[in-house]
Amino acid sequence: MIWSRVATDIHGKSLTSPDISTLSAEELQQFVHEFHIQNIALEIRNQELQESQSCYRMLCQNMLEGFAYCKILYDEDCRPCDWIYLDVNRAFERLSGLNNLVGVKVTEAIPGIKEAHPELFEIYGRVALTGQSEKFEIDFKPLGIFLDISVFSPAKDHFIAVFENVTDRRRAQKENEALQAQLIQAQKMEAIGTLAGGIYHDFNNLLQVIVGYSEILLQRKQLNESDYADLEQIYEAGKRGAELIQGLMTFSRKDDIQTKPINLEVQIRQFKNILSRTIHKMIRIELMFDPALALIKADPGQMEQVLMNLAVNARDAMSDKGKITIGAKNTILDETYCNTHVGVKPGPYVLLTFSDTGTGMDKETLSHIFEPFFTTKAEGKGTGLGLATVYGIVKRHNGSIDCESEPGHGTTFKIYLPAIPPDEKVSIDKTPVSPKSGMETILFVDDEEPVRIVSSRMLKSAGYGVLTACNGKQAVDLFKREGGNISLVILDLLMPVMDGQECLEEILRIDPKAKVIIATGVTTNNKQISLAIDTGARVAVHKPYDMTEMLKMIRDILGKT
């Protein structure tokens, strides 16, 4: 072909022109024809190239991910020290907040990037040199976001990086991890609570005998008698055993609570008076309150237990000097907080803060503090149930608890308790104190002989006549014969032959107005308890009960029609 002889490369930099004078008319015509064809091919290829470039530009500019085409720069030791932006898309500009980047060095565009992320220079340099692609995630500190980056090299010393902002995904992942950790913690607590519940009934029967007999013997002794202190130790040990098992049940949220409207400021001020007399004089106590603190619906005894357990921990962390700060203020918990705290609902709360200036805790210790039996104290110095009990009480009150601590910087507990809405009407219990003795006859029903004996003696010492039965059938037979003389029945639930529920139903069938107290070793929010109350029992108490409180309860029930 003539064109191929005279124009060796249509894409070449210099095209040779043929000597037309040497061509015949036929060759000249053929040359023009070939030139025209090649020119059309060249135009088509240029058009295709332009369309390809336009497509590339449109693709890059409309990508949802950030895109940057860059050239690596090296220092005198041939190490990557910078890069120049050759092209970026709109998504990258939105992501970075930077404009007019083409031709600009990254160290000029983002000051401090080399100090914050030297690994980027190493990765980009390696990709530009080897041509191998890499994918990684980075917490990009200059922009305060998490980036997912894919990088590859189209030519030596050049790289293309594609960026995706995964901050929301990482935040959601962290929230899910936090919720998962809370779920595992809750399951662990539930398992321990179930184990405790299995021994609760029998253990409380044993404690009832220990506490009951020691209380009877103490009533017969004078303070100056030699064995009074020994008996007192037995009594206190029994009470501590009861508190231990009760702590387990509180922790596992299987106990019952008696809530009423309370002002947390009043309770904290009263608690401060007690605390001031029990801790070292060099430990200062400061109080801080919201001027218009909202009321909460809570069990006053359990709130006092929360304060006491936190105070004991603070005291032990500070030794003989330091400061305890207790505060309460109104706050609102929003969806953001509630999404990362299982079981917490948005709304108004009272925030109870309890801070100390003690030794503080590291992250590892902090992750275990609410676990039962976990303690940093020396052997024999703690049960490890203090904070577990606090956790259980807070959860029982539909609240939330957080802890912040660092070694050497003290510890702060933040407890959120639901506030009573301002428009909700509240009333204060003004029931007068009832006498603790009487002359009526009481039927005491329990399958444990030691419990029957000790309880009978305690009731008789208060002036009551006492009949006993070891099971439900015997109790029903007694009530049929002596029902006219029996003013009150104290009834256990778990018994052989005829259980407490069936016995209760039979007694109420005989006398619908019969007054019955359920006194049992099962947990007080057990379904059996709920069924008994629905059936007609006046109240339920769990063993080991304090006899003074029991006598007050008996007198109170007998005084009602």
All domains of the chain in start order, with CATH: 2-61 (no CATH), 66-165 (3.30.450.20), 172-251 (1.10.287.130), 260-418 (3.30.565.10), 441-558 (3.40.50.2300)
Query: Which range is least confidently modeled, 250-264, 275-289, 538-552?
Result: 250-264
- The answer to whether the beta carbons of residues 164 and 147 sit under 8 Å apart is yes
Give dist(CA 418, CA 183) in Å, integer.
Answer: 21
Residue 248 has pLDDT above 70, yes or no: no
DSSP state of 20: G
Residue 508 has pLDDT above 90, yes or no: yes
Q: List Cα–Cα distances, 328 to 277, 286, 357, 370, in angstroms.
A: 22, 12, 18, 22
The two three-digit tokens of residue 429, written as one number: 């219990």
Residue 84 has pLDDT above 90, yes or no: yes
Residue 383 has pLDDT above 60, yes or no: no
Place of tokens 């901050």: 167
DSSP assignment of 87-131 equals EE-HHHHHHHT----TT-BHHHHSTTHHHH-HHHHHHHHHHHHH-
- What's CA 479's distance to the chain center, in Å? 51
What pLDDT is attached to residue 436? Answer: 55
Averaged pLDDT of the chain: 80
Choose between 389 and 509: higher pLDDT. Answer: 509
Give dist(CA 81, CA 261) in Å, integer.
Answer: 67
Residue 43 has pLDDT above 80, yes or no: no
Place of tokens 């309460």: 328
Residue 379 has pLDDT above 50, yes or no: no
Q: What one-letter code names the amino acid at 119?
A: E
DSSP assignment of 486-539 equals EEEEEE-SS-SSS-HHHHHHHHHHH-TT--EEEEESS-TT-HHHHHHHHHT-SE
What pLDDT is attached to residue 426? Answer: 64
Place of tokens 């596992």: 252
The two three-digit tokens of residue 366, written as one number: 């902090």
Residue 430 has pLDDT above 50, yes or no: no
Nearest-10 Cα torsion for 370, 374, 375, 380 = 130
Q: Percent of the chain at pLDDT above 70?
A: 79
Q: What one-letter code names the amino acid at 49?
A: L
Give dist(CA 466, CA 482) in Å, integer.
Answer: 12
Alpha helices in 375-416 (DSSP H): 386-396
What pLDDT is attached to residue 13? Answer: 41
Give dist(CA 363, CA 377) in Å, integer.
Answer: 17
Residue 351 has pLDDT above 90, yes or no: yes
Beta bridge partners of 332: 348
Give dist(CA 192, CA 195) in Å, integer.
Answer: 5
- The answer to whether the beta carbons of residues 236 and 242 sit under 8 Å apart is no
Residue 104: which residues within 8 A CB-CB, separation 6 or more? 84, 85
Residue 390 has pLDDT above 60, yes or no: yes
Query: Which range is least confidently modeled, 194-198, 420-424, 517-521?
Result: 194-198
The two three-digit tokens of residue 259, written as one number: 């809530």
User: pTM for the whole thing?
Assistant: 0.44
Beta bridge partners of 285: 324
Q: What one-letter code names the amino acid at 439?
A: M
Q: Average pLDDT in the 11-30 region?
A: 60
Angle (CA) 492-468-513 rounded to 5° is 65
Give dist(CA 305, CA 298) in Å, integer.
Answer: 12
Q: Average pLDDT in the 5-21 region?
A: 49
What pLDDT is attached to residue 419? Answer: 93
Residue 253 has pLDDT above 60, yes or no: no
Give dist(CA 107, CA 101) in Å, integer.
Answer: 11
Q: Model confidence over 445-457: pLDDT tens digits?
A: 998 888 888 888 8
C-alpha radius of gyration, the chain, whole number: 41
- The answer to whether the beta carbons of residues 130 and 157 sit under 8 Å apart is no
Q: Model confidence over 46-82: pLDDT tens digits?
A: 776 766 666 666 766 777 788 999 999 998 888 999 9
